[in-house]
Chains A and B, each alone.
Chain A
Amino acid sequence: MKKKRIETITIGIFLVFVFVFTAVNLFAEKKEFSENENRTLAPFPALTVSNIFGGDFDTQFETWFSDHFVARDTWIETKAVSRRMMGAIENNNVFYGKGRRLIQQFSTYNPTLFENNIAYIDEFCKENGRRGNILLIPDACYGAESALPFGAWNIDESRLLDTVCEELSDQTVIDLRNALNDPHYYFRTDHHWNAAGAYEGYKAICREVLQIEPYKFTQTPVSDDFRGTMFSRSGAFWTRPETLERIDCERPVRATILFEDGSRMDSLYNDARLETKDKYTYYIDGNHAYTEIHTDADSERTAVIVKDSYAHILMPYLVSEYRTIKLVDLRYYQGAVSALLQEMPQADLYFIYSLNTFVTDSSLGMLW
């Protein structure tokens, strides 16, 4: 009798589980955008004859189905929790660090791409007769190493930077290895360096490129609800958010920004972005193919910067030193960087990347 009851209960659990989630899924409201993933969710596959018979309707359907699966974030957090309970020290290549710090793992790269990128920069600078200023920022896995859990392992960024210094000896390589040697230079929930880290970058530029004394800056919190990319990727949604700061120079600077589409901003900061998930875009409005900054800095200097998003938080510091800065993101920029250089014969040329991007990004060939 008791056996029959347990059998019935087990079957009941199975059927209820399968049927309830099926039904809820069927009727739940569908979202279009996943904030946590920073991407548009898949639309329902086209019900055309050619798509069903010639395409990959089945995978499109599965993608749509899982993209819109009910309570998606809760499932993802559940998986992260079970990984932790299984004793794992990372989830989706993000380490659970000390002090609830989430650190991106750097476990693979393409050596050929790395060598090519170095060669591209060297060739480009020589062709254009400029000395390049190269800032390859070590990632948190290097700088925040002391916060990594026991057993964590990353590819040795220091060794890669040795290669960079060696092979780009004709350019100015700004080495931040000694400056960024503490977790507090990086966000706790995001892969970028933070305001304190970027200040170290600025000081190094003043010392090695501009040969001037750096200004002093104040950092004022503008949001205490920042949940960064590592927060999203790790699935560790229990991690408390952190603060994001506005950066102001002791000598106030006014800046206006022009973007590739002609739109403009009268500040380095886009306050509206603080209301979204992707709050790092508060700095110079995030990724744009082309960004032109004009300032009333006490200087005639100009700069062309080829960069990834690590450069964004550096801009509040650099605007104090440059009258005009043109930023190019090669992943999206269609024009030629050499044309920009010809327009600005005196401009300083910078390459500003996180080391991780630099060894995985295949767009440096687009310099020409």
Chain B
Amino acid sequence: MVFSSLTFLFAYLPAVLLSYYIVPRKWRNLVLLLVSLFFYGWGEPIYVLLMLASITFNFFFGKAIGKYRDSDREKAKKYLIACIVMNLLLLGFFKYWDFLAGNLNAIGLTFIKPLHLGLPIGISFYTFQTMSYPIDLYRHDTDPQKSYISFGAYVTMFPQLIAGPIVRYRDIAKMLDERKENIDQFYAGVLRFTAGLAKKVLLANSAGAVWESINALPAAETSVVSAWIGILCFTFQIYFDFSGYSDMAIGLGRMFGFEFLENFNYPYISSSITEFWRRWHMSLSYWFRDYVYIPLGGNRKGLQRQILNLMIVWLLTGFWHGASWNFVLWGVFYGIVLLFEKLFLLKVLKKAPKWIGHVYTMLVVMLAWVVFAHTDLSVALHYIGMLFGGAASFANGASLFYLRNNLVLLVVCAIACTPIAQKAGSLFSKEKLQPFYPVLVLAGLLICTAFIVDASYNPFLYFRF
């Protein structure tokens, strides 16, 4: 169940809000755990068992780590390693088994077979999230959670379960047991949720439809301009989809009294790739920094080691995004670009006019999205070829159509990628703007609902027997 579905908005959410606020405060974590398990099991009920298993072993291993971390470091370390291995096995089995089998089979080794198991939703997010708990415990960055229910509520919490942000345990440990829901926070949650919904439904889905349509053009109808409009639309789609989802998660979290860390900070205004990755999917970058890069030695063991560490992190980042070679390539590509920036490019960019940095960043990002968007590498290369002249024409009727039909959408997307609107808003006093918020929320909900209903609208031209 995604947040931008009618089932979520007009069945699940009201039921959850009602049951959450109707019970006394001390039961609210239990309610949160139960409704989150329901949310998780909605698509694939059997995987609820997987989730319960994950909660249980992390909870008890965490207890053990907490018990021995002062008295017997070695023992605590063994528990930590076992716990990490189990989490990684879980992720590895469900997400990467078929990829491994497929690749081995392709080179003639057929001793393992693809299993075609459905990927448990959010497994990439919640295994990473959960792993932060034993590691932070071991490092004394947090204390063991005493309640199984509170811990379960943390692991399954439905707002960020399926698409992040990846919330580290230590960041919400206090809130789990001591939060006090209040009107201010609920109000902020409503605003944030509605904004996220609009980003996902109005911007991401519309831009995505344009991208798909351009991607499906017959060879004779392609053009350089259309190809650029297409990848621009994908660039918008993936940002508004993902950041919209994070906004909805943060908003929902607030409705239940939680404050999650931000996940996006206008990544497309960056003037270098280094900056881009400080602004894009921040919770994942923090995770890799704190739990992989720094433990490997980071930049403290000489340049050679740093380069190696960087490449390991980016190989893993790519692989985390999907069990397919194009994601690996995508990650490694970013690793190399970041390496160049560290070695010399950043210094060059600093001296150059600012716009060069922006153009360079967006160019790299968009080319990388082409690779990200196509699991088939030869298709991606063909698309890149079209961007640089390998299309049927430079511009044609189709390019004019896509521009004309989506001009407003493209402009709105471009503005919404930047903090311009926020800056313009801050010219007025807060008191003057606030009266518009209720109206905006209502309008946003109405139009989003219209778009969601319309997506299921499926007229048949012909009667079906």
Contacts and interface: CB of A to CB of B under 8 A. Distances in A.
B453 interface: yes
A206 B250 CA distance: 70
A6 interface: yes
A263 interface: no
Given A67-B456, A79-B453, A10 B404 contact: no
A289 to B, nearest CB: 8
B215 to A, nearest CB: 10
Interface string B4-32: 01110111011001000000000000000
Interface stretch (A17-25, A207-215, A336-344): A17-25
A194 to B, nearest CB: 16
A368 interface: no
Contacts of A152: 401
A76 interface: yes
A232 B459 contact: yes
Given A8-B183, A66-B6, A79 B451 contact: yes
Nearest to B221: A155
Contact of A278 (B5, B400, B463): B463
Contacts of B437: 6, 10
A25 B10 contact: yes
A44 B280 CA distance: 41
B216 interface: yes
Interface centre among B9, B213, B431, B454 (most CB of A within 10 A): B454
B453 A75 contact: yes
17 contacts: A6-B438, A11-B190, A13-B438, A13-B445, A14-B194, A17-B442, A22-B14, A38-B461, A39-B459, A78-B450, A86-B408, A86-B409, A88-B406, A90-B405, A92-B459, A151-B405, A233-B461
B194 A87 contact: no
- By Cβ-Cβ distance, the 8 closest A-B pairs, closest first, are A151-B404, A153-B401, A66-B456, A75-B453, A78-B450, A79-B454, A7-B187, A153-B397
A7 B184 contact: yes
Contacts of B460: 37-39
Interface string A75-109: 11011101000111110100000000000000111
A249 B301 CA distance: 94
Interface of A: 2-4, 6-11, 13-15, 17-19, 21-22, 25, 36-39, 52-53, 58, 61-63, 65-67, 69, 72, 75-76, 78-80, 82, 86-90, 92, 107-109, 111, 150-153, 155, 191, 229, 232-233, 235, 278, 281, 286-287, 289, 309, 331-332
A21 B452 CA distance: 14
Contact of A89 (B218, B221, B405): B405
B406 A37 contact: no
B186 interface: yes
Nearest to B12: A22
B304 interface: no
A90 B409 CA distance: 13
B267 to A, nearest CB: 25
A235 to B, nearest CB: 7
A9 B191 CA distance: 12
Contact of B183 (A4, A17, A37, A75): A4
B217 interface: yes
Contacts of B5: 62
A229 B183 contact: no
B438 A78 contact: no
A230 to B, nearest CB: 9
A16 to B, nearest CB: 9
B146 interface: no
Given A17-B442, A38-B463, A151-B400, A10 B449 contact: no
B450 A76 contact: yes
Nearest to B400: A151
B453 A155 contact: no
Contacts of B412: 86
